Amino acid sequence: MSEILKSVATRRAFLRDSAKVALAAGVATACKQDASATTVRQSVAAHPAAAGGAHDAAAAALANADAMDAMHEKSIKAFPAKTSGKGNQVLAPKLDKGVKVFELTAKKIQWETEPGHFVEAWAYNNQVPGPQIRVRQGERVRVILHNELPESTAVHFHGLELPNAMDGVPYITQSPVKPGQKFTYEFVVPNAGSHMYHSHHDSAKQVGLGLLGAFIVEPRTPTPAENVDHDFVFVLNDGPHGYTFNGKSFPATEPLVAKLGQKIRIRFMNEGMMIHPMHLHGMHMTVIAKDGWPLSNPWRCDTLNVAPGERWDVIVSCTNPGTWAFHCHILPHAESEHGMFGMVTALVVQK
Amino acid sequence: MSEILKSVATRRAFLRDSAKVALAAGVATACKQDASATTVRQSVAAHPAAAGGAHDAAAAALANADAMDAMHEKSIKAFPAKTSGKGNQVLAPKLDKGVKVFELTAKKIQWETEPGHFVEAWAYNNQVPGPQIRVRQGERVRVILHNELPESTAVHFHGLELPNAMDGVPYITQSPVKPGQKFTYEFVVPNAGSHMYHSHHDSAKQVGLGLLGAFIVEPRTPTPAENVDHDFVFVLNDGPHGYTFNGKSFPATEPLVAKLGQKIRIRFMNEGMMIHPMHLHGMHMTVIAKDGWPLSNPWRCDTLNVAPGERWDVIVSCTNPGTWAFHCHILPHAESEHGMFGMVTALVVQK
Amino acid sequence: MSEILKSVATRRAFLRDSAKVALAAGVATACKQDASATTVRQSVAAHPAAAGGAHDAAAAALANADAMDAMHEKSIKAFPAKTSGKGNQVLAPKLDKGVKVFELTAKKIQWETEPGHFVEAWAYNNQVPGPQIRVRQGERVRVILHNELPESTAVHFHGLELPNAMDGVPYITQSPVKPGQKFTYEFVVPNAGSHMYHSHHDSAKQVGLGLLGAFIVEPRTPTPAENVDHDFVFVLNDGPHGYTFNGKSFPATEPLVAKLGQKIRIRFMNEGMMIHPMHLHGMHMTVIAKDGWPLSNPWRCDTLNVAPGERWDVIVSCTNPGTWAFHCHILPHAESEHGMFGMVTALVVQK
């Protein structure tokens, strides 16, 4: 691993862990100096106009700029970077006399958020986010939760208007599901839209560690909004795993890929503790639903503020070819002086 | 008080006071160990399957889970907990030749936010929030402010489009009202809706400490939205009193109670410094007004992001019986590993 | 400079620099005591009722209140305070064969955010915000960026739906523009509305330091919303320069001035890292556009939550004469116990 790559890795570690800021800052500075040292000669050589004796300051500025830019370039060129594990995979149900049965096993795993960076995750079916559950309004659904965690837990179906006993809130609607136990949720899916499921027990910790997933309900009667070429789910999180889209940080985030002229739907879901105003470059988004409920008056934007617990559905007409940055516009969630990281991906519109 | 209750109390104290985090964390850890120690045997006994020699780790996990769950249960079973003092009580005006006269006395008090936890509050009429003022558009209103605080103050009627001299901003529209002085505001109520009154002097401190209240203006001509069975006011705050709804923290928050089939109106008002995305379980909310202004196109949601200074009016049709969690979805405002606290209440729909 | 002014200046310095909090707090306390000491006698004299021996506590409270109020008064009476430098000035283009040519030079400057307080800024054309670019939809525009910074940079036209190569994201759509280099952007302006331009390289730092500006596109066909008496741009920021409107902190912010009966348009743009719910006193705002896109259903409010990267256009009918406070309603962004500061200005409606 080159010095520059090492410093990028170091930077990521220190951004993640505020408790180590003082130490890491020193390390980062040291790394930056190393990087500068190794690139000064090259960049001076690469910018001959700046190489004269009268241009020492300019040469130094260029060398520093080159060193910084090299880190930025590496991070972007690595995108989309491979990591082990992929969250939000559609879970195929088993059928039991017309009931769609989904099994979720919650347990502690190691999760790679970006190349080489592993975190402790509490995950459903070894995925962060947990597997995507996708059903149709009016279907009968059974969700069997197996708890292999060291804590009790429970599943709340956030946005679904279920019978009270299926709401998943320990001591309000059910007993906690203890380690080693299982619990069965069963219901007829009442309302359509982009919903979520997540732990509702010790939730500030358990959701932060990954016990969350998308629960998508297609409407009983398909609407024109359903006619899209691609349907993307975009779960935002900002807990102990860092700033993530679908459990991964840039450059390990997944790009959204479409062809010129296609129409895509994006379902934003915020499972974190902070707002994330999502900014798309190059094209606007038409907002068609809030928390799964269609808007009678859709509106357009390029920056959509998504608050914790909210879901927003948007349509993008892919009219502008190219690779477009797509990121949280709280800039420290997306870029540092070492390059882009965290809540960044791209919409790729192919000709 | 049991060990577990003590540790809950300790947890609450340390969540409140970030200046004492290091110390309190140690105390909390100690308490948790105590709680675990006292419950290990019971829980092992309660889960005989885990009691064998080969299951020591599972037994330990269960014991820990039981200890944590006991804290969660205690907190929820205590709801709604009794505390002294109740804010947001409707203030009956005196009538003076057709003018509705409200007297507000601002002074320093002790305020109980949850059982046994008293904080210094700066309050109107000994209430946090101050008494609810409820009038009709077009009525003549007189508000007499008596200042018994150790600082100057003034009242701003947030959302009312008053004559400038009644706007309550020291050195812009009036002189500050000194300790021991009084000041009289008088105006014809111009615009309907869910508004607020609060201090506009040293306001980051004075509003945080409790100098705030709801000012509800019924429209001159009642609208269909007025036809509800219950009309709830929900003042959010997040200052030195912790995370509160109408001046109280869970489990001392007040539940919203309605009968199956009833229609309720909720008026959210944020007097804090942070957003609070309010999430209702089991039913959706139809948003009908922003800052007191009716929306020509109401929209539906289950998670409503309420920013500081904003007011949002929603209607809920109580179609789903049961006790439903209703909380801020920034999870650390609502739950810790010691159970629910802060910005949590319930909507109870009775059959 | 009087003792009180000194303490105000001291207060501002310590609010700005959290790294110096411990030290500055001590200084501020000392100053406050000085101020109290110098005003106790005057205020006791000014409040003869409180001067008796039996009223020592009341007299002390009054003296403290007078000292605090004096700081509040000074701050407000200084408004609008003169500072050197003015951002957001409309930049007149040069014409080159029908192309409107704008030149932007990015370099490091000293910037005065409030009287006597200078910060390091990275600025376009020596302004924070950079000069306002105002064009019409369909016009051909050339923007020439000269980089005189010690880092590479690039310009992203936030909200404009440009050809990919003009999007300004290093390593995605172009190479970074190195120190000493220039880069030319050229395009036909595609979509109307309130947009922004800013750095998209090391952006968390470069935008925070001032590399940002308004890019206003008038629609090809003027709409009724265009018929206003005044059109104000309101860039919010919250980085290392403190809480600012158009690069200045209260009392150096610029008031919005209109005549009774006039209609004004305000274009809010958030270039910071935090939400800012903007609260107007005395009149409501009608929201007509989001990110430059007209709303088919405008809605009214008095507190508009503006998230990072968002632009919101509102209309205010100036029907209520007077000087009206206009501020962020996260109160610690607008007032301390030393008076108003940061994100505060006024709308002045003249008879």
pLDDT, tens digit, 9 for 90 and up, residues A256-274: 999 999 999 999 999 999 9
B116 touching chain A per CB within 8 A = no
User: What average pLDDT score do residues C36-52 get?
Assistant: 40
| Helix (H), strand (E) at residue B106 | strand B99-114
Please, what is the Cα angle at B45 between B40 and B50, to 5 degrees?
A: 85
Judged against a pLDDT cut of 90, whether residue B333 lies above it is answered with yes
What local confidence, expressed as pLDDT, does residue A43 receive? Answer: 39
As given in the structure block, the two tokens for residue A228 are 């899209």
Q: Which of B178, B205, B296 sits opposite C337 (nearest CB)?
A: B205
Nearest Cα neighbor of B345 from B326, B318, B331, B321 is B326
Q: Which of A169, A176, A203 sits opposite B331 (nearest CB)?
A: A203
C103 touching chain A per CB within 8 A = no
Identical fold, B94-218 and B225-350: yes
More confidently predicted of B30 and C223:
C223
**Total beta-carbon pairs less than 8 A apart between chain A and chain C:** 130
C303 touching chain B per CB within 8 A = yes
Best mutation target, A153, A202, A236, A313, to test chain B (most B CBs within 10 A):
A202
B190 touching chain C per CB within 8 A = no
Question: Cα C28 from chain centroid?
Answer: 26
What local confidence, expressed as pLDDT, does residue C222 receive? Answer: 85
DSSP C120: E
Question: Cα C199 from chain centroid?
Answer: 18
Mean pLDDT of chain A: 88
Q: Which of C178, C207, C296 sits opposite A297 (nearest CB)?
A: C296
What local confidence, expressed as pLDDT, does residue C52 receive? Answer: 53
- pLDDT band at residue C20 under the 50/70/90 scheme: very low
Judged against a pLDDT cut of 60, whether residue A49 lies above it is answered with no
Sign of the CA dihedral running B122, B123, B127, B129: negative
What local confidence, expressed as pLDDT, does residue C319 receive? Answer: 98
A275 and B323 in contact by Cβ < 8 A? no
Mean pLDDT of chain C: 88
C284 and B293 in contact by Cβ < 8 A? yes
SS (H, E, C) A86-129: CCCCECCCEEECCEEEEEEEEEEEEEEEECCEEEEEEEECCECC
At residue A106, φ and ψ (nearest 5 deg) are -95, 120
Helix ranges, C125-253 (H) = 203-206
Gap between the Cα atoms of A118 and B57, Å rounded: 25
What local confidence, expressed as pLDDT, does residue B225 receive? Answer: 76
Considering the segment(s) A224-350 as one domain, its CATH architecture is Sandwich (2.60)
Which residue type occupies C247?
Answer: G
User: What average pLDDT score do residues C250-259 get?
Assistant: 98
Residues B217-231: pLDDT tens digits? Answer: 999 998 887 799 999
User: What average pLDDT score do residues C149-156 get?
Assistant: 98
Judged against a pLDDT cut of 80, whether residue C124 lies above it is answered with yes
Residues of B in contact with C283 (CB under 8 A): 161
Nearest Cα neighbor of B286 from B218, B225, B349 is B225
CB neighbour class for A194 (10 Å; exposed up to 12, middle 13-18, buried from 19): buried
Gap between the Cα atoms of A316 and C229, Å rounded: 35
**Across A80-94, B215-229, C48-62, least confident range:** C48-62
What local confidence, expressed as pLDDT, does residue B52 receive? Answer: 53
DSSP three-state, residue B186: strand
At residue C226, φ and ψ (nearest 5 deg) are -70, -20
Tell me the domain boundaries of chain A.
3-77, 94-218, 224-350
What local confidence, expressed as pLDDT, does residue A225 receive? Answer: 76
As given in the structure block, the two tokens for residue B24 are 């309190």
At residue B168, φ and ψ (nearest 5 deg) are 80, 30
Residues of C in contact with B273 (CB under 8 A): 330-332
**Across A251-255, B199-203, C28-32, least confident range:** C28-32
CA distance to partner chain B, nearest, from residue A5 (Å): 35
Contacts of C55-64 with CB under 8 Å at 24 or more apart are C58/B179, C58/B180, C61/B150, C61/B151, C61/B179, C61/B180, C62/B178, C62/B179, C62/B180, C63/C36, C63/C39, C64/B150, C64/B151, C64/C36
Best mutation target, B18, B152, B157, to test chain C (most C CBs within 10 A):
B152
Nearest Cα neighbor of A326 from A290, A273, A291, A283 is A283
Residues of B in contact with C72 (CB under 8 A): 170-171, 176, 201-202
- pLDDT band at residue A53 under the 50/70/90 scheme: low
The H helix count followed by the E strand count for chain C is 4, 22
Judged against a pLDDT cut of 50, whether residue C27 lies above it is answered with no
What percent of chain A shows pLDDT beyond 90? 81
Sign of the CA dihedral running B98, B99, B100, B105: negative
C201 touching chain A per CB within 8 A = yes
Which residues have CB under 8 Å from B37's CB, separation 6+? none
- pLDDT band at residue A52 under the 50/70/90 scheme: low
3-state class percentages of chain C: helix first, strand second, coil last, to nearest 5: 25, 40, 35
What local confidence, expressed as pLDDT, does residue C284 receive? Answer: 98
C255 touching chain A per CB within 8 A = no
CB neighbour class for A191 (10 Å; exposed up to 12, middle 13-18, buried from 19): buried
ipTM of the complex: 0.86
Nearest residue in B to A291, CA atom: B301
C164 and A301 in contact by Cβ < 8 A? no
At residue B142, φ and ψ (nearest 5 deg) are -125, 125
Q: Which of A47, A277, A325 sits opposite C172 (nearest CB)?
A: A325
Judged against a pLDDT cut of 80, whether residue A179 lies above it is answered with yes
Is residue C123 a contact partner of residue C153, using CB atoms and an 8 Å limit? no
Nearest Cα neighbor of B163 from C257, C282, C263 is C282
Q: Which of B65, B76, B337 sits opposite A171 (nearest CB)?
A: B76
Q: Does domain A94-218 have CATH number 2.60.40.420?
A: yes
Residues C291-324: pLDDT tens digits? Answer: 999 999 999 999 999 999 999 999 999 999 999 9
What local confidence, expressed as pLDDT, does residue C35 receive? Answer: 33
- pLDDT band at residue B258 under the 50/70/90 scheme: very high
Judged against a pLDDT cut of 50, whether residue A28 lies above it is answered with no
Chains contacting C (3 or more CB pairs within 8 Å): A, B
User: What average pLDDT score do residues B188-209 get?
Assistant: 98
Gap between the Cα atoms of B111 and A70, Å rounded: 58
What local confidence, expressed as pLDDT, does residue A8 receive? Answer: 33
Query: Cis bond leading into B80, ω under 30°?
Result: yes
Judged against a pLDDT cut of 90, whether residue C57 lies above it is answered with no
What local confidence, expressed as pLDDT, does residue C203 receive? Answer: 97
Mean pLDDT of chain B: 88
Q: Which of B65, B301, B330 sits opposite A308 (nearest CB)?
A: B330
Gap between the Cα atoms of A299 and B187, Å rounded: 38
As given in the structure block, the two tokens for residue C277 are 């719910």
Judged against a pLDDT cut of 80, whether residue B131 lies above it is answered with yes
Residues of C in contact with A324 (CB under 8 A): 164, 167
What local confidence, expressed as pLDDT, does residue C255 receive? Answer: 98
Considering the segment(s) C225-350 as one domain, its CATH architecture is Sandwich (2.60)
Judged against a pLDDT cut of 90, whether residue C85 lies above it is answered with yes
User: What average pLDDT score do residues B290-309 get?
Assistant: 97
What local confidence, expressed as pLDDT, does residue B53 receive? Answer: 54
Q: Which of A167, A171, A273 sits opposite B73 (nearest CB)?
A: A171
User: What average pLDDT score do residues B337-344 get?
Assistant: 97
